[in-house]
């Protein structure tokens, strides 16, 4: 990515800066090209690194600017910067896309599709799909290593009373204790604590239940085997922990929340943030799309840097040092949003919903 683009993004701090920076369709396209093809333009069909611009050439009708053709002789694929990304065949100007993404990233916990629609002048279903396009762009692919904290929590409200459904059990003998949706959170603890050190990454996934196979499924996808796990003593975690390089646990049952550096406080803080975001912004998210929302919340979590330290006293009078965080400016988060866009595609369904055609980036 050129320094010019970084400079442009760095200069965006206010709303009017953003409007000024995202002026003109050509300008926005060039910004997007620099972010999507940060390592140079690559063909989205075959990954070939050489292609030619067709703009201005007479191909029967004049080719539009931003149209390229792969120079690989067996491929010859014609593409633009949005081809095979979540913005594939969009009818909206790229200026509207960049504005919308800036709006979403600028808000502290996210923005509902209703408010986004009002702010940028599109319909609510369109705004909803734009939000999901962003969340798809933010799907993590690499595995977390280092010190990784895991924790489980539930989302959703208490169930409606229903005379036809049996009473909930107490969580024993296979009876469900709740009808809420269980979620597993995985958070990488920040490695460094000095000024400008980045926050760890955070992931969360909806699970069918808090059983061992489900925990194994999520952890094998999200955590590298070299990781040092920290968790409470939930029994599913206990047996899975053996697969990883190291596993330490704390005993919540004995009201123990930290033993020196052994704790899952980052994961618990992330859980809190997820719950507050859902309650405050989205009110209700369907378990089917919850993982997409978690991508966004996890991305926000990672887009922070240490801005200082403060000495605080605990209720028991002990001194603790708390890290203070500040977030990376929303415009400067955009390159990270687009860094592995190619290959990830959303499709509209007939009923106006979305399906994810592919969530894995190719030719990044
Ligand atoms: Zn090609």
Is residue 254 very low, low, confident or very high in pLDDT (cuts 50, 70, 90)?
A: confident
What confidence score (pLDDT) does residue 346 get?
85
Residue 59 pLDDT exceeds 70: no
DSSP reduced 3-state for 112: coil
Instruction: Please write down the HEC assignment for all residues of 307-348.
Output: EEEEEEECCCCCEEEEEEEEECCHHHHHHHHHCCCCCCEEEE
What confidence score (pLDDT) does residue 34 get?
95
pLDDT, one tens digit per residue, over 196-206 is 899 989 999 99
What confidence score (pLDDT) does residue 159 get?
60
What confidence score (pLDDT) does residue 160 get?
60
pLDDT, one tens digit per residue, over 317-345 is 888 888 899 999 999 999 999 998 998 88
Q: CB within 8 A of 112, min separation 6: which ones?
A: 281, 282, 283
Q: CB within 8 A of 312, min separation 6: which ones?
A: 319, 320, 321, 322
Distance 47 CA to ligand 1 centre (A): 6
Residue 347 pLDDT exceeds 90: no
Q: CB within 8 A of 189, min separation 6: which ones?
A: 146, 147, 148, 149, 200, 230, 266
Beta partners for residue 223, in sequence order:
144
**CA-to-CA distance for 233 and 142, rounded, in angstroms?**
26
What confidence score (pLDDT) does residue 173 get?
54
Distance 141 CA to ligand 1 centre (A): 24
pLDDT, one tens digit per residue, over 60-93 is 666 788 999 999 999 999 999 999 999 998 889 9
Q: Quick check: 298 and 291 in contact, CB under 8 A?
A: no
Distance 54 CA to ligand 1 centre (A): 15
What confidence score (pLDDT) does residue 163 get?
60
Distance 75 CA to ligand 1 centre (A): 5
Distance 335 CA to ligand 1 centre (A): 24
Residue 26 pLDDT exceeds 90: yes
**CA-to-CA distance for 271 and 203, rounded, in angstroms?**
10
The mean per-residue pLDDT over the stretch 225-234 comes to 90
Neighbours of 328 (CB within 10 A): 16
Lowest mean pLDDT among 108-112, 220-224, 226-230, 344-348: 344-348
Distance 28 CA to ligand 1 centre (A): 24
Distance 341 CA to ligand 1 centre (A): 17
Is residue 281 very low, low, confident or very high in pLDDT (cuts 50, 70, 90)?
A: confident
Distance 26 CA to ligand 1 centre (A): 24
Q: Quick check: 301 and 201 in contact, CB under 8 A?
A: yes
Global pTM? 0.89
Distance 362 CA to ligand 1 centre (A): 13
What confidence score (pLDDT) does residue 256 get?
72
């Amino acid at each position: 990515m050129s320094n010019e683009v970084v400079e442009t993004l760095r200069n965006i701090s206010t709303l009017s800066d953003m409007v000024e920076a995202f002026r003109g369709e050509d300008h926005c396209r060039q910004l997007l090209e620099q972010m999507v093809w940060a390592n140079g333009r690559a063909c989205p069909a075959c990954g070939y690194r050489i292609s030619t611009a067709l703009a201005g050439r007479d191909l029967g009708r004049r080719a539009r600017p931003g149209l390229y053709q792969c120079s690989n002789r067996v491929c010859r694929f014609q593409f633009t910067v949005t081809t095979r990304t979540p913005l594939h065949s969009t009818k909206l100007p790229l200026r509207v896309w960049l504005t919308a993404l800036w709006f979403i990233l600028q808000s502290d916990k996210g923005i509902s599709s209703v408010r986004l629609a009002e702010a940028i002048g599109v319909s609510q279903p369109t705004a909803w799909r734009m939000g999901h396009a962003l969340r798809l762009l933010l799907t993590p692919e690499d595995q977390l290593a280092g010190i990784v904290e895991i924790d489980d929590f539930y989302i959703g409200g208490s169930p409606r009373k229903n005379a036809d459904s049996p009473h909930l059990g107490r969580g024993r003998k296979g009876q469900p204790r709740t009808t809420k949706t269980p979620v597993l959170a995985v958070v990488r603890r920040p490695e460094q604590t000095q000024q400008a050190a980045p926050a760890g990454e955070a992931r969360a996934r909806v699970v069918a239940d808090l059983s061992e196979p489900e925990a194994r499924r999520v952890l094998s996808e999200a955590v590298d085997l070299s990781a040092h796990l920290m968790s409470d003593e939930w029994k599913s975690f206990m047996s899975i922990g053996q697969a990883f390089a190291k596993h330490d646990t704390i005993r919540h049952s004995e009201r123990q929340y930290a033993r020196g550096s052994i704790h899952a406080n980052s994961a618990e803080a992330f859980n809190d943030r997820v719950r507050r975001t859902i309650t405050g912004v989205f009110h209700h998210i369907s378990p089917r799309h919850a993982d997409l929302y978690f991508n966004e919340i996890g991305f926000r979590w990672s887009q922070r840097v240490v801005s200082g330290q403060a000495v605080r006293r605990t209720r028991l009078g002990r001194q603790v040092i708390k890290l203070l965080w500040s977030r990376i400016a929303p415009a400067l988060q955009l390159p990270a949003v687009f860094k592995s866009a190619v290959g990830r595609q959303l499709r509209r369904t007939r009923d106006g919903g979305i399906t994810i055609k592919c969530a894995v980036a190719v030719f990044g």
